[in-house]
Structure 1
């Protein structure tokens, strides 16, 4: 048989396929990207790539996708190839046979936790031939609606992580506090951009244990002078004013925390105490707000510029290159957001909140309580869009998410 040519795993098409595989995207999404690799068909070259790279390589690394997921993926690949009258490689049949006969379903073993890798892809300039990436490994639950919601990856945490990685200068060297941290994705993203301190909180102890495990998976040690990352058990209803005001964060973050009207009074109390204004060195509230408005204007301008430079191929092929070791988004023609935001020595804390509005009455209740607490809630969804760093994640509906900036009015 003629030797099958090999695909380059670093091309954008192959990266989309492998990133979707590592993130355990729905298998029909993988079929879409497999066709993309073969210019419309799952050719022998694509089949060989799936066997050699996805199965032989990835599945032999630590914490791979679940065996049940791989079995279902291989089955769909074989059905797709057979339906297009292309020869199915023997090795593909062999892998499928192994997973059919030798592997029990994860659910039968009582295992409701899986490992997913979320890959944030940063393309280079010239037609995106190579892509830089930040990969975050997470243990999460497959039972999103069965009492394990805190260990699931929610869409707003993906959005907030994209925003952090798109605008690292906002968060670099800042003390950041997240309410309802869940699997810890946002906190790990903050660590990549060199936040000076990261405090992750959750009210559920099992969620907190899973979050700590995820930090360790990503080689982030908690409560050390080097990392400055803390995980705290913080039920909103019992958190004291003294405890909350002791954190003194520069930035507060929350993803999909507006879900239960009964919890909203406690949530707003937490936000109010965390956003308590710090004034010193003669810096007045008006001066602080002026500095924030100037920084927000720059952020809006940069966001609109980046949207105008998006490419059809990737959605954000605009020349920006992210170096996680430096915590910077490098670009020769964009002003620094961070330099604008450092204009005042003492800053008014600000909150960034991403949420899917699933129930309008619940959201209206949140807005009413925020107004009563003298919190200004500004919708910045259209003006501060992050870069599209998850082009392979078709299950992630970015359009459903609203993005808000909160501070004292």
Structure 2
């Protein structure tokens, strides 16, 4: 009989100016994919809290922020709670569905809505993105790679009328974050 991975909920608190930002992170300890907060995620989250102004967009010009290999997604969770005028794309390996499901659960735990097709007005999209995958979605790969991600960003911008109201290039990513990015080929 296989044992179930151990679950843990860790709480972090960040201060940015007058703002106190509590963040709950869900960990799933499993020998195959060890989903826990890495020290690099803690460092990036501290940096974000101290430089929050750098990560803020505006209603007329929201930022699109992509986190690669998010793992437990601490930096994205912090940004989703601390900023209002951003769109966040949280990615990790598409071949380990527990990682993306864990991020979705952590977003719910923190009261953060996820993006279409569930809610076109939300600001966070969680999706798989594999290293070196530059494809569009197709009948064999429903998620697709980087090309599909850029297409999804363009659709998100259209739904929210972003491209017409700002000086953005369609499909533009303003910031790319990476604190839990390890490449482990099969």
Where on the TM-score scale, by shorter chain, does this alignment land: which range?
0.5 to 0.7
Equivalent of 1:193 in 78, 83, 88? 83
Q: TM-score, normalised by structure 2?
A: 0.67
1:120 has 2:14 as partner: yes
Q: TM-score, normalised by structure 1?
A: 0.32
Equivalent of 2:104 in 194, 206, 212? 212
1:242 has 2:137 as partner: no
Structure possessing the higher radius of gyration over alpha carbons: 1
Deviations 1:75-110 (A, max 9, x none): xxxxxxxxxxxxxxxxxxxxxxxxxxxxxxxxxx84
More strand by share: 2
Deviations 1:236-271 (A, max 9, x none): 2334253254342111111131454x59xxxxxxxx
Deviations 1:261-319 (A, max 9, x none): x59xxxxxxxxxxxxxxxxxxxxxxxxxxxxxxxxxxxxxxxxxxxxxxxxxxxxxxxx
Give the conservation status (yes or no) of the 8 Å contact 1:176–1:195: no
Q: Structure 1: where are the runs of 5+ without partners? A: 1-108, 125-131, 264-409
Tell me how many residue pairs correspond in the alignment.
Answer: 144
CA root-mean-square deviation: 2.5
CA distance in 1, matches of 2:129, 2:85: 21
1:232 has 2:121 as partner: no
CA distance in 2, matches of 1:154, 1:234: 20
More helix by share: 1
Match in the other structure for 2:54: 170
Deviations 1:110-152 (A, max 9, x none): 451111111224688xxxxxxx632111220244xx1132x21
CA distance in 1, matches of 2:132, 2:98: 18
Partner of 1:180, secondary structure, is coil
Partner of 1:255, secondary structure, is coil
Give the conservation status (yes or no) of the 8 Å contact 2:13–2:23: yes
CA distance in 2, matches of 1:227, 1:202: 20
Give the conservation status (yes or no) of the 8 Å contact 2:69–2:92: yes
Give the conservation status (yes or no) of the 8 Å contact 2:5–2:28: no
